[in-house]
Amino acid sequence: MLPKERLRKADIFFSFPVMIAGAAIVLNAMSFPRGAELSGVRNDWYVSPALMPYIIGTGLVLMGIALFFTGLKEAGTAGAREALASIGSALARLKSPGAGSLRFLAVTVTVVTGVFLYMPRVDFVISAAFLLLALMSMFAFEDDALLRRLLVLFVLLAAPMVAWFASGLGETLEGAFYYASDIPGGAFLVLYILLAARMTGRERRGRFLRLVLISFAVPLVLVPLFKYLLYIPFPREGGVVALMDFVRFDLLDPVQE
């Protein structure tokens, strides 16, 4: 594990990719239809499909800013200058990242993969839980060796999903069964949980299981709140969201014919 001073410098270092990723999400969401543009009629702003990406992107930008100032407070201006000066050299060492650039690489790869690979194509609950669990499990234990192993595991599980969509297989199967991509997405999430639990070890198993619960609880709370109270659609409403629709509209409030 990095000494505390170097750890804070690393926080300054990768606060920038977090802010950049958040800004990219917001900029991309600006091309989405907004409330007044939906269906050619006047709608309230809170039904816009751009609202959720705005919230996620803005949250990442704010988290990056908070991370920068936290690192700056601990490391000082000299540490900030050192961290900024190391960005170029770290990019040249990405093939074999050291302890400092490893955190930068982990955040960048995980956020980009979750936001641009999973969320537009796999059910939002599954993809959001996967992204949250991957990030929390990588950084919760302050163990660089474990972070490296979990990052490799996350990338290895993402590779077949890239092939699934790049080959056109996912699109073809979704034509016959809309929720087809949720099956491998959910399977790889379960596989990550099982393998990551083993990697963290028995002594840290309880803490890891709490992270699993949090990663599922957040989207399971947010989806009903935004979908049924604020009427905000999600990037991909797959099998889990469809099950929520069934409970909400068929079990709790069925339409009487």
Domain with 156, as residue range(s), is: 122-257
Final residue in a domain of this structure, among 76, 92, 108: 92
Please tell me whether residues 59 and 161 are part of one structural domain.
no
Domain count, the chain: 2
Q: Are 130 and 228 part of one and the same domain?
A: yes
In tens, the pLDDT along 94-116 reads 455 555 678 888 888 998 899 88
Instruction: Based on the fold, state whether residues 60 and 139 are members of the same structural domain.
Output: no
Res 197: pLDDT: 95
Question: 253 burial class (0-12, 13-18, 19+ CB within 10 angstroms)?
Answer: exposed
The amino acid that residue 176 corresponds to is A
| 55 part of a folded domain | yes
Please report the DSSP string for 141-208 in residue order: T--HHHHHHHHHHHHHHHHHHHHHHHTSHHHHHHHH-TTTTHHHHHHHHHHHHHHHHHHH-STTHHHH
Shared domain check, 241 and 129 = yes
> What pLDDT does residue 257 have?
45
Given phi > 0 = left and psi -120 to 50 = alpha, else beta, which region is 76? left
- What does the block give as tokens for 121? 């194509």
Confirm whether 103 is domain-assigned: no
Q: Do 237 and 184 share a structural domain?
A: yes
Q: Which of 85-99, 104-118, 200-214 has the highest mean pLDDT?
A: 200-214
Asked if the structure places residue 169 within a domain, the reply is yes
- pLDDT, residue 90, reads 53
Structural domain includes residue 32: yes
For the stretch 11-56, pLDDT in tens is 776 777 788 888 888 877 776 666 554 445 555 555 666 777 788 8
Q: Give the predicted TM-score (pTM) of the model.
A: 0.69
- Give the 3-state secondary structure percentages of the chain, helix then strand then coil, rounded to 5: 80, 0, 20
Same domain, 209 and 248: yes
Q: What is the pLDDT of residue 5?
A: 56
At 113-171, the pLDDT tens digits run 998 899 999 999 999 999 999 999 998 988 889 999 999 999 999 999 999 999 989 99
> Residue 24: inside a domain, yes or no?
yes
For residue 164, being part of any structural domain is answered with yes
Question: Who contacts 47 (Cβ-Cβ below 8 Å, separation ≥6)?
Answer: 35, 38, 230, 231, 232
88 lies in the same domain as 134: no
Are residues 28 and 153 both part of a single domain? Answer: no
160 plus 234 within the same structural domain: yes
Tell me, yes or no, whether 114 lies in a domain.
no
Residues 213, 149 share a domain: yes
Same domain, yes or no: 176 and 59: no
Q: How far apart are the first and last CA of the chain?
A: 63
Assess if residue 100 is contained within a domain. no
pLDDT at residue 235, as a whole number: 84
**Do both 252 and 133 map to the same domain?**
yes
